[in-house]
Structure 1
Amino acid sequence: MTILTTQISFLLLLLLYVTTFHKITCTNHTVVRCNEKDRETLLTFKQDINDSLGGISTWSTEKDCCAWEGVYCDSITNKVTKLDMQFKKLEGEMNLCILELEFLSYLDLSYNDFDVIRVPITQHNITRSSKLVYLDLAPLIFDKTLHMDNLHWLSSLSSLKYLILSGIDLRKETNWLQAVSTLPSLLELQLSYCKLNNFMIKPSIEYFNLSSLVTLYLSGNNFTSNLPNGFFNLTKDITSLDLAQNNIYGEIPSSMLNLQNLRHLDLSENQLQGSVSHGIGQLANIQHLDLSINMLGGFIPVTLGNLSSLHSLSTGSNNFSGEISNLTFSKLSSLDELYLSNSNIVFRFDLDWVPPFRLHALSLANTNQGPNFSAWIYTQTSLQDLYLSSSGISLVDRNKFSSLIESVSNELNLSNNSIAEDISNLTLNCFFLRLDHNNFKGGLPNISSMALIVDLSYNSFSGSIPHSWKNLLELTYIILWSNKLSGEVLGHLSDWKQLQFMNLEENEFSGTIPINMPQYLEVVILRANQFEGTIPSQLFNLSYLFHLDLAHNKLSGSMPNCIYNLSQMVTLYVDALPSDTTIELFQKGQDYMYEVRPDRRTIDLSVNSLSGKVSMELFRLVQVQTLNLSHNHFTGTIPKMIGGMKNMESLDLSNNKFCGEIPQSMSHLNFLGYLNLSCNNFNGTIPMGTQLQSFNASSYIANPELCGTPLKNCTTEENPITAKPYTENEDDDSAKESLYLGMGIGFAVGFWGIFGSLFLITKWRHAYYRFIDRVGDKLYVTSIVKLNNFDRLWSG
């Protein structure tokens, strides 16, 4: 009995073990399969989408949709609960049928490149998506127009807490505030750069209630109105409010002071006027306050000094008056960023004042700080960004100043002052360095290998480029314009592989232009140096180059023939230069000034010793707007294809050896504002056309055989030539045809002019024969006399 009991117990235990193990095994290998209707909805959403990364294209009817990229399902119900497709480079149509997913709570389609948003015509199915909590449809590029006609469909999303539609064009939605007020649970609303244009709501704005809202971003719209009195009463619990970059005018409503939970307030870049209430000191929790770039006036309230939680303060570019002192900041121990640029405020700080804060960013640009460098700034040894441009500074404490600027880790901008220090023994460790328009002297400083932008122009730096600069492997932008630098700087170029912008104008650099140039170069300015040798053909293989200035050097030889590889000068593709990189240049043969811009194509090879014929390829660069080849030794003619350079605004071919006629096709250059063809060997008549006759005689003088308006009239009147379209091969074909035709005509005229006359006129023919007889007799007599004389000499 005992043995039987034991056996039964063992069998029961074994059965229990097998059952449990089987259950565990089955659980571990169960495949979660999504709901069939959810899969159909996902495939409908997919069908009009282009996917360059291949993420959504992996969606397939053969696989479980819960395993598709970006799709998440509930493990119990197998229903889709989350779709996250941000940054997937999706293009085409965004079909909001995806909102029909019954248990969807999270939808993120942000930072893609959709062209169209399709909202279902019948919205009763969207009602099923009442569980949606998070919705982000913001596009990758805000400037790209992605339209949405209205926000009526939002009323179905009663559980929505986070709504982000920034960058979508909502200008047709005239009552946007009413639409979002139907969302009782909304915590965060982002409608920045949506082209919204009004606060004027009917019924009154006080009618709406967004009591749950804590974050509201409305920057970059077009609210050309004042702030309604009741706007700040929409919600009392708001913590972040961004109304920057609108056209809001009028005064700041006093109701703003009711927002006691406010931590982030940005009213910058509007047209706000009036003074700032002293009551602003009651916003005890505020951490970020930006009132910059408005028209606010009066005194900066001293109560700002009571905001002990303040991390960032920006009041620059207003009409504030009065003064601020160390007492203003005495309680701001949490202050991390201070932006007071472009202010007329008088700064009065005690010389021995040590601030209670340690700033990471300080901007006092365009303020009256000088002539002495403010002593309290020396104490800010944790600075990452320091902006003190145009502050009238000329005197510094050498040791403290050196220590300070070496410690700045991100951006150092001291431009447009009068600082005359020798910083050659320093190592500057920032990414963005701007010391231009000062009086710095001595050798160039050492620079961090991580530097991206370096502008040391308009100083008195001398000597050569430090050897350590070879390590600037990340450098994208360098300006050394107008110094006293020398040596063969271009040897470093092969190491600066990321370089895009280079201006070395007005120095004493020498050597030749290297063969290996950084492939990303967009701007090359070597003007007014001592560079010599030929222009390497590799320079014209830079497909990103849109501005080339090699003028006023000692370059010689001919022009390379591969110019057509400058694809940026053939097709108009506007790229963006780094911020603050536009500079002014001399162009158009005179002291005209304009900015280097990515939409302007320029080639200037003037004042060198270049020779030979200009490459025909040069005149295929149809996007070039400024072309200057003056003061060289170029020869040859202007090809007719120059008429295809429709964007040309400035053309200077003066002081060369160009010859031939000015092609009629030049009358097609309708934007030409400056022309100089003087001091060449052009001949014939200046082609008739409104454009070419609009210039005065100085554009054509010193071409002795050139005539026509605006020069003197030609001696032989010619029929005016009618301008006509041309093809690219016209110059080559017409040249060959002219050569062969001229040879043929010349031969025919010469042959028939002589022999035809002899054949047709009897008297001429008889005279010709008598002439031949006389010449023959004379030759015979002369030869006999010569032979007799020779015999006498030989016999003697």
Structure 2
Amino acid sequence: MKIVIYALHVLVAVCFLPCMETLSFESESLSKYDSHVRCIESERDALLVFRQSVANEYDQLQSWKKEENDCCEWKGVGCDNHTGHVTHLYLSSLIQPSYYLETTNARVSVSNLLLDLKYLNYLDLSSNIFVGIPKFIGSLTELVHLDLSDTCIGVSELSPWIGGSIPEQIGNLSKLQYLNLSNSCTGGPIPKFIGSLHSLKYLDLSNCGFDGVVPHELENLSNLQHLDLSWNYLTPNGNFSWLFNLTSLAHLALSGIDITPPGIWVSFIQRIPSISILRIEGCHLLSPSSTLSNFSSSISALYHRDNLINSSIVYWLSHNTFSLEVLDLHDNMLEGAIPQSFAQLTALTDLNLGQNILSGPIANTLPLMTTLTKLDLSANQLTGDLPKSICNLSRLRSADFSSNNFTGNLEDLLSGHLSHLQELSLYKNQLTGSVPDITLLSSLRELDANSNQLNGYLPIVFKHHSVLQILDLSNNQLRGSLPNFTRFSSLWSLNLSDNQFSGGLPDFTGCSALQVLRLDKNQLTKWETRSTGLLSSLRELDLSMNSIHSTIFEVHLFNLSRLEYIRTSFNSLTFEFTSNWLPPFQLWELSVTSCKLGPKFPNWIRNQQHIVHLDISNSQISDNIPIWFGNLSSIMKLLNLSSNKIRGEFSFNFDQLEVIDLSFNYFNGALPPVFHAGCSKIILSQNKFSGTLQSFSVVEYYALSFLDLSHNKLFGALPDNWIHFELLAFLNLGYNNFSGRIPTSIGHLGSLQTLILRNNKLYGELPASLRNCRGLGFVDFGFNKLSGKVPSWIGKDHLKLYALILKSNRFYGSLPYEICHLHNLHFLDLSINRISGTIPPCFGNFTAMTRKGNEVGNHFYLTNSSVPSNDTDYYVDNVLARWKGQEFEYGRNFAYLKMIDLSTNELTGEIPTAITRLLDLKGLNLSVNRFNGELPQEIGQLKALECLDLSANKFSGEIPQSMSGLTFLGFLDLSNNNFSGKIPSGTQLQGFSISAYEGNTELCGKPLTITCPGDEPTDHIQPSFGENEDDGDDSDYQRWLYVSAVLGFSTTFWGIIGILVLNRRWRHAYFLFLDNLKERLIVAMAVRIARFQRKA
């Protein structure tokens, strides 16, 4: 109640001034007069000159016309009803920030001719942009109300044009009672002359960039009722004594200021008894000392968020305040259970405890706080069911329980007892159960229950008309058909995405206010015209990621003239529009991935002049890129035409693009002119672009984080200006015809995670500067002409490396021992080189290959893009690997492919035993080398091995018996070695073809036709089944099979008999069961025989 009284007091004292007693002020026309009242001609001319000096795109001053004689009827102009003098100018927001950003010369230059408005007492120029605060304003000595707030938009490039110091002429305004300079970007110290404005009752200097010490002259403002110095860089140094002279002060705001010592804020309440509202947010304050007590404060609102307050403040407040209505302790250090002392604050109506460390249930405290109208407990660690006793808070209008761990059923809260409840947020909890009829809460305007575990169905019918405006039940487990929403005439935002709803879109007849409709990520199957055809207010439509099989005609969208966002990606939709159709809407976003728009390029897009986000990828377009495409929106930020069959040259210049994807098309010619400083993601792969990267080396691309030019016809040397690409995380230039050396400047890519230069004509050694790219995880230089030794710094400086591919180059020399430091390595391919020496015995240190699991997955990278996109910030690795004798390309499954390929080199020696510690190794290829010696007996420990190729070496000795336990082995090649002896018996090794063992002349046993000594068949032994193809091992196997069967039967039989002999109770029960069973069988047989005889 005190807040209301204070607000009325300020309204009467400041806004309705004595000189405006007869003024009638409205938003459209601030004064309407009798026909005989006309404004003063000189004042009218001054206003016309002022209008000419204002660049106003929206022409808010269009009523200011020379032919309109009565300026008192102009918008924003108020006059004295008796004299006709202009007394009031309301000229806020003449320049919109969005327009100003695009038209840098659009700023307000306030004409000095306004000096002719000598009787002006109310001037509002807020939310405009000035070349400094006009000095002449100080000559408008009748001013009582001056608002110059929000004249700074915070863009650093514009700072020389806006703001500036406060002219000292303002100090001449002796009648001024209201002065608002907030957000005006003035800077410097607070002018001392403000202290001479003795009539001031309202002073707002917040967020102006002021620094230094607060001048003590402000203590002269004895009539001041409202003071706001928040969010400046002031250094009071503990000197707040000047505040204690402001005996009329009712509202004090010092948020974001260094208030020291931390407990001094209590003295504001003690020594300024008139204070009813205190804002001290973000000041790093502590809880008051328990010694600061025994006083009574009449403060009604305390805003204490973003400090270091603990739970003791509640006890302190309950003993020192008696009329506290609003308490904001958001983002502090309150922990444990909600203090019961809150119940003693009997006048409390608004309580905010969000973003603290409160825990446990809330059942004991809240039901006692019956005066509450607004409650915020969000972002804590509260648990348990939301108690039914919350319904006792009959005055509650707004409740926020989001981001906790509450459980229970939603029906208890929405039972209808909270008849005044208007806003309810339950976001991100663990609530279960179905959704009741929300129309039972007659006052509910906003319900957010997304990200819970709600299941079941929505009500088939809603019983009452609802005033609900926002309903968000997304990210739950709701299912079934969607009900009709015809009773929700006030609904303007409906979000049911990420559930399991099925069937068709419901009937939205009557939802004339609906602006946002999100039904994405469900299982919907049908979109009928009547579902959305009458939603004339709809701005955003999201049906993406469903299973809708429908054809969309013009009639579906004909009435949606306000539509700005269409998202229907990943459905089976077909858009069939006539070639000359002009949509009634202007879109900001069109995302229709995997919908059918083709085969012709959709002509209806050509008039979308405001589009920012255009994604028509995989839409079956097979056509030339139209010439008119370059005339689309100049503010486009995302363009995705990928996975179509679009032909032609892309020569259009969209200089605002942040993300462009033209991959998997038939574009040709030079690279598009999309390389500019603001672009963060460029994908032009899988096309026919040709030429060099000369244009690429002209501009500095500070924002670029993802660049893929692979699979084109580009040639020439790589540019050497990579020093400018600080954010680049992904670079793929593979499958082109680039030549020359890898430039040294590539070592400046400190953010690089993936580097692919595969399949080009690059030569020379790897530049040592690459060692500076310490974030590299994936490196593919395969199929080039690179030479030199494998550098040792790869193992020293690239500890995050999980894939290293140097395949098919000209590397030579021995493998460096430092490579064993790559503990995260999943994939190593050094095949088809001239590497010699032995395998380092430390190869067992590849830790990622020793344990199961996928430790790679998708990779996220930093992006400066302001455009939301499902795939903007991550990518999936892609690798070409020789697997089971053939080349395969692996994408999403690459993370599970743990492989070492050293084939086709000049390596010698034995396989180190340490390799057998790589228990999750899937593939090992050492073929076509000069290895010798015997295989390690422990090779059978590689249980996960699926592919083993040791062919074309000089291995000798017997194949280890442990290999028979490699049950996942799907490919084996031991051919062309010197193995001898018998192939170990096992279900795997005998299943491979003869070619897996050929070229080993001393090898015998199945599947070879060479029989091992001692395995020859004898004439007197007859085969048991068919022809005798079993060797001695098969006979032993059958013999043990028969023995095991006999032993199993004997053990089971005598085990049962033994129990019956030793246990009398079980024995009697068993024989009783047999007797009963015998009797039942006899009776059943007798009945059946009798029935048969009767029928006969």
Q: TM-score, normalised by structure 1?
A: 0.71
Specify the SS of the correspondent of 2:914. helix
Q: State the partner residue of 1:363.
A: 615
1:123–1:310 Cα change, 3 Å: closer
Match of 1:136 in 2: 402
Q: Is 1:682–2:979 an aligned residue pair?
A: yes
Residue 626 of structure 1 and its aligned partner are, at CA, apart by: 1.6
After superposition, the C-alpha distances for 1:655-689 in whole angstroms (9 at most, x for unaligned) are 22222322222222222211222222222222222
Aligned residue in 1 for 2:159: none
Matched, 1:31 2:288: yes
Q: Which residue of 2 aligns with 1:343?
A: 595
Which of residues 837, 858, 877 in structure 2 aligns to 1:557? 837
Assess if the C-alpha contact under 8 Å between 2:825 and 2:849 holds in 1: yes
CA distance in 1, matches of 2:528, 2:764: 56
Between the two proteins, what is the percent identity of the paired residues?
28
Counterpart Cα distance in 2 of 1:197 and 1:352: 41
1:215 is aligned to 471
Question: Is the 1:100–1:126 contact (alpha carbons within 8 Å) kept by the matching residues of 2?
Answer: no
Unmatched 5+ stretches in structure 2 = 1-243, 248-263, 272-285, 292-306, 318-328, 654-670, 860-873, 1016-1030, 1038-1096
Q: SS where residue 641 of structure 1 aligns?
A: helix
Cα distance in 2 for residues equivalent to 1:559 and 1:693: 30
Q: 1 CA distance for matches of 2:558 and 2:752?
A: 41
The answer as to 2:710 corresponding to 1:436 is: yes
Distance 1:22 1:373, change over 3 A: closer
Q: Secondary structure, in 3 states, of the residue corresponding to 2:915? A: helix
Residue identity opposite 1:135 in structure 2 = F
CA distance in 2, matches of 1:233, 1:351: 35
Whether contact under 8 Å (2:388, 2:413) holds in the other structure is: no
Listed as ranges, the matches of 1:647-666 within 5 Å are 647-666=944-963
Within the candidate set 588, 591, 599, 2:886 is matched to 591
CA deviations 1:41-83 (Å, max 9, x no partner) are xxxxxxxxxxxxxx99998999999896256998993999444
Matched, 1:199 2:457: yes
Q: 1:464 to 1:402 in 2, by over 3 A?
A: farther
Secondary structure of 1:108's aligned partner: coil
1:414: which partner in 2?
684
Distance apart, 1:226 and its partner CA: 3.0
Which structure has more RCO (C-alpha within 8 Å, separation ≥ 6)? 1
Deviations 1:360-404 (A, max 9, x none): 332222245565434344345544332222232442155856323
2:922 corresponds to: 625
TM-score of the superposition, structure 2-length normalised?
Answer: 0.53
Which residues of 2 match residues 637-652 of structure 1 at below 5 A? 637-652=934-949
**SS in structure 1 opposite 2:739?**
strand
What CA distance in whole angstroms lies between the structure 1 residues aligned with 2:504 and 2:817?
62
CA distance in 2, matches of 1:621, 1:423: 43
**TM alignment of 1:333-732, pairs within 5 A:** 333=586, 335-346=587-598, 355-369=607-621, 372-379=624-631, 380-396=633-649, 398=651, 400=653, 402-406=672-676, 409-427=679-697, 430-444=704-718, 448-489=725-766, 491-517=768-794, 518-575=798-855, 576-578=857-859, 579-591=874-886, 593=888, 594-595=890-891, 596-711=893-1008, 712-717=1010-1015
| Partner Cα separation in structure 1 for residue 815 and residue 414 of structure 2 | 67
Q: Distance in 1 between matches of 2:268 and 2:623?
A: 81
Distance of 2:403 and 2:364 partners within structure 1: 12
Distance in 1, matches of 2:315 and 2:853, equals 42
Task: Give yes or no for contact 1:58–1:68 (8 Å, CA) kept in 2.
Answer: yes
Q: Give CA deviations for 1:98-118 in whole Å, capped at 9, x if unaligned.
A: 7745559222237x8x9xx64
Secondary structure of the structure 1 residue equivalent to 2:922: strand
In 2 relative to 1, CA 403–584 (structure 1 residues): closer, same or farther, beyond 3 Å? closer
Cα distance change on mapping 1:375 and 1:220 into 2, 3 Å: farther
**Residue 212 and residue 620 in structure 1: after superposition, are their counterparts in 2 closer, same or farther (change >3 A)?**
same
User: C-alpha separation between the residues in 1 aligned to 2:493 and 2:364?
Assistant: 28
Counterpart amino acid of 2:424? Y
**Equivalent-residue separation in structure 1 for 2:497 and 2:565 (angstroms):** 15
Deviates more, 1:661-670 or 1:350-359: 350-359
Q: Does the residue aligned with 1:176 lie in a helix, a strand or coil?
A: coil
How many equivalent residue pairs? 658
Displacement of 1:193 = 6.7
Superposed displacement of residue 468, structure 1:
4.0
1:226 equivalent among 481, 504, 509: 481
Q: Secondary structure at the match of 2:896?
A: coil
Cα drift, residue 603 of structure 1: 1.8
The structure-2 alpha-carbon separation of the partners of 1:538 and 1:220, relative to structure 1 and needing over 3 Å to count, comes to farther
**What SS class does the counterpart of residue 609 from structure 2 fall into?**
coil
Aligned residues of 1:321 and 1:344 also touching (Cα < 8 A): yes
For residue 713 of structure 1, what is the amino acid of its counterpart? T
Residue 214 of structure 1, CA deviation? 0.6
Secondary structure (helix, strand or coil) at the match of 2:401 reads: strand
Partner of 2:689, secondary structure, is coil
Q: Give the AA of the match of 1:243.
A: L
Change (3 A) 1:384 1:398: closer
Distance 1:336 1:587, change over 3 A: same
What code does the residue aligned with 2:616 have?
A: L
1:69 matched to 2:69? The reply is no
Structure 1 position 622, deviation (Å): 0.8
2: CA distance, partners of 1:474 / 1:482: 24
2:91 corresponding residue in structure 1: none
User: Residues 279 and 365 from structure 1, CA distance in 2 versus in 1: closer, same or farther, beyond 3 angstroms?
Assistant: same
Aligned amino acid, residue 613 of structure 2: A
Aligned residues of 2:743 and 2:767 also touching (Cα < 8 A)? no
Kindly state the Cα deviation for residue 260 of structure 1 after the two structures are TM-superposed. Answer: 2.6
Residue 235 of structure 1 corresponds to which residue in structure 2? Answer: 488
Q: Say whether 1:96 aligns with 2:353.
A: no
- Structure 1 gap segments, 5+ residues each: 1-16, 35-54, 140-146, 724-796
Q: Distance in 2 between matches of 1:126 and 1:98?
A: 12
| 3-state SS, counterpart of residue 426 of structure 1 | helix
Q: Contact 1:382/1:407 (CA < 8 Å) preserved in 2?
A: no
Say which SS state the counterpart of residue 440 (structure 1) adopts: strand
CA offset digits 1:290-312 (Å, max 9, x no partner): 23343332234366376454333
Match of 2:543 in 1: 291
Aligned position for 2:8: none
What one-letter code is carried by the residue in structure 1 that aligns with 2:449?
Q
Would the alpha carbon gap of residues 508 and 330 (structure 1) be closer, same or farther in structure 2, given more than 3 Å must change?
farther
1:259 to 503, 511, 530: 511
Rounded to whole Å, the distance in 2 between the matches of 1:520 and 1:418 is 34
In 2, Cα distance between equivalents of 1:648 and 1:129: 67
- Given that 2:505 and 2:531 are in contact with CA atoms closer than 8 Å, whether structure 1 keeps it comes out as no
- Is the contact made by 1:304 and 1:328 (CA closer than 8 Å) also made in structure 2? no
Range that drifts further, 664-673 or 483-492: 483-492
DSSP 3-state at the match of 2:618: coil
Contact 1:241 1:265 in 2 (8 A): yes
